Amino acid sequence: MSTAPPGPPGPHWFGLGDVLTEHARTRPDDTAVVCGTHRSSWSELDRRVCALAAVLASRGLAPGERLLWLGQNCHRLLEALFAAARLGAVLCPVNWRQSVDELRFVLTDAEPSVVLWQAVEIGEAVAAARVDTARVDTSRVDTTRVDTARVGTVGSAHWIQHDDPGPDGYEALLAAAQPVAAAPVDPAGPVLMLYTAAFNGRPNGALLSQTALLSQTTTLLLLEGVGADEVFLNSGPLFHIGTLRRTLAVAHAGGRNVMLRRVEPELLAELVQAQRCTSAFLQRPTMEQLVALGGRYDLSSLRTPPGPPGWDELVTVQRGARVRSGYGQTELAGVVTFSMPERPTVGGLPGPLATVEVLDPAGVPVGVGEVGELAVRGPMVMNGYHRRPELTAAKRRHGWHHTGDLGRREPDGSLSFVGPLRKMIKSAAENVYPAEVEASLRRHSGVAKAAVIGLPDATWGQRVLAVVVPAATTADPEPTTLAEQLIEHCRRELAGYKRPRLVEFVDALPTRDGGTDYDALDARFGGGGYPGTG
């Protein structure tokens, strides 16, 4: 599953390597990427990718094998992705913000053949993780391993420091390489692996094909108007699909990517001004920091929707007309539903290359207005998780990609995201999704936070318990009164079997990994009896 089947090239094959080949011919002198003082035209990028592919092949990176990027945003990451595409290999840009323990897990799990790593800023953590990995690798017996023929790959991976200016560094190797001509690669094979979906405490590597990436970028070209005139500031991390999908869309269109190693407002503003960036990956806190710089930089080249106070005066505001991204996830190479300005809907509409369904646990579509699991079919769906055949099979049961998220089809045909699926409560024959009940509780003015769990019930299998942090600002009713009000509130908003039978009040919800710790709630309040994989 993780390797493209070998075979003769087909006349249908079109991938990222072909995109690069065409740009190098049709816009050879346009700037493709800017990174610090480095600037590559499309023809120069093509030459560098050819050289890198030769270096990686000579270091043993075979089709289907993993190439790790242990570094920050850089033009060389983009080169590594194109080189992987040309070789039929898989690039995995690793989250460099992780702890040594987390890095070690990824290094072990990914089984890379080659690692491109960075010394600046993150070299110590990388070195620590590497030592541990080597130690683990020689002693372990890994029963989760699928491909036993390649045991030991991690320990024997070739490490290349991309920011080493010496004779063993990336640039020296490129300069000495004997580039070979690009051969066609089956675009249905994986080319990108992103760790995500830590269902059970450890992340899983989602494998995305070239076809998946190009389906996503084509959708962005079409719906979000990405074009050859875009100068995109890569101000979000490239190990996350949120930024990377636009990086690739801009490259697909023949536009320009400007790299930013890490988000610092002053540096970001300088780059926008110097490179006349037209777009950037911007979240609200960053926009507020840019406003706080007090107009010292010319950001007028940025075309954005309206922003926080002071923002609209700094940039070129584009009102109304733009499509907005809706629901998406790493396993879908990005976004699959969009709000269309000319067609206002409650939720998002599927893009032109995807179909979305709302399924019950048996794989049967639920009715309009009912909550079920969002499921997707389309060329942007991942090939599966690296080394997780059972999890992969579970995600694609009934011929659909199961997102693990709850959604609802609205009467206008659009799709609303409700919340993560997590554990499901089963009350008699009925399915109760905690996220849906929690959303209802949070709409009550007396609630600050809410979590819903299931208690074992001799008669009904399970009954619904709401754990609530009361809102500080409300007049303080008796807990009993508030509990009754909340149950009544849910009775009005939800089907009867979904409403809580009991409400417990707490000062704070226990958390883990940034979210509510449901296991702790189960332990404290006696939750249990969940059906399915729980």
Which residues are near its own copies by CB under 8 A? 8-14, 18-19, 21-22, 25-28, 184, 188, 211-212, 214, 218, 221-222, 228-229, 252-253, 342-343, 345, 349-350, 352-355, 376-379, 381, 395-396, 399-401, 409, 412-414
Quick one: how far is CA 131 from the chain centroid? 28
Q: How far is the CB of 10 from its own copies (least distance, A)?
A: 6
Q: How far is the CB of 396 from its own copies (least distance, A)?
A: 5
Closer of 26 and 318 to its own copies (Cβ)? 26
Q: How far is the CB of 344 from its own copies (least distance, A)?
A: 12
Quick one: how far is CA 262 from the chain centroid? 18
Beta strands, E only, 186-335: 190-196, 204-209, 231-234, 256-259, 279-280, 303-304, 316-317, 324-325, 328-329, 334-335
Spatial distance between the Cα atoms of 294 and 286, rounded to a whole number of angstroms: 14
Give one word for 293, left, alpha or beta, with left for phi > 0 and alpha for psi -120 to 50.
alpha
Contact 263, 276 (CB under 8 A): no
Q: How far is the CB of 105 from its own copies (least distance, A)?
A: 27
Q: How far is the CB of 378 from its own copies (least distance, A)?
A: 4
Spatial distance between the Cα atoms of 433 and 46, rounded to a whole number of angstroms: 50
Q: Are strands 90-93 and 328-329 parallel, antiparallel or unpaired?
A: unpaired
Q: How far is the CB of 342 from its own copies (least distance, A)?
A: 8
Contact 354, 345 (CB under 8 A): no
Closer of 6 and 352 to its own copies (Cβ)? 352
Closer of 28 and 123 to its own copies (Cβ)? 28
Closer of 82 and 530 to its own copies (Cβ)? 82
Closer of 413 and 477 to its own copies (Cβ)? 413
Q: How far is the CB of 27 from its own copies (least distance, A)?
A: 7
Closer of 96 and 327 to its own copies (Cβ)? 327
Contact 337, 351 (CB under 8 A): yes
Contact 259, 34 (CB under 8 A): yes
Q: How far is the CB of 42 from its own copies (least distance, A)?
A: 10
Q: How far is the CB of 145 from its own copies (least distance, A)?
A: 25
Q: Residue 410 corresponds to which tokens in the numbers above?
A: 């609205």
φ, ψ dihedrals at 116, nearest 5°: -100, 120
- Collapse the DSSP code of 207 into the 3-class scheme (helix H, G, I; strand E, B; otherwise coil) and give the result: strand
Contact 374, 406 (CB under 8 A): yes
Closer of 24 and 241 to its own copies (Cβ)? 24
Closer of 49 and 115 to its own copies (Cβ)? 49
Residue 290's alpha-carbon distances to 267, 278, 301, 309, 339, in angstroms, are 10, 15, 14, 11, 27
Q: How far is the CB of 353 from its own copies (least distance, A)?
A: 6
Closer of 319 and 343 to its own copies (Cβ)? 343
Q: How far is the CB of 350 from its own copies (least distance, A)?
A: 6
Closer of 93 and 187 to its own copies (Cβ)? 187
Nearest residue to 417 via CA among 339, 497, 495, 498: 339
Q: How far is the CB of 69 from its own copies (least distance, A)?
A: 26
Closer of 4 and 129 to its own copies (Cβ)? 4
Spatial distance between the Cα atoms of 26 and 246, rounded to a whole number of angstroms: 21
Residue 219's alpha-carbon distances to 185, 227, 345, 370, in angstroms, are 22, 12, 19, 28
Closer of 117 and 327 to its own copies (Cβ)? 327
Residue 25's alpha-carbon distances to 38, 48, 248, 253, in angstroms, are 21, 15, 19, 14
Residue 154's alpha-carbon distances to 109, 137, 150, in angstroms, are 9, 7, 9
**Virtual CA dihedral for 215, 330, 374, 217, nearest 10 degrees?**
-20
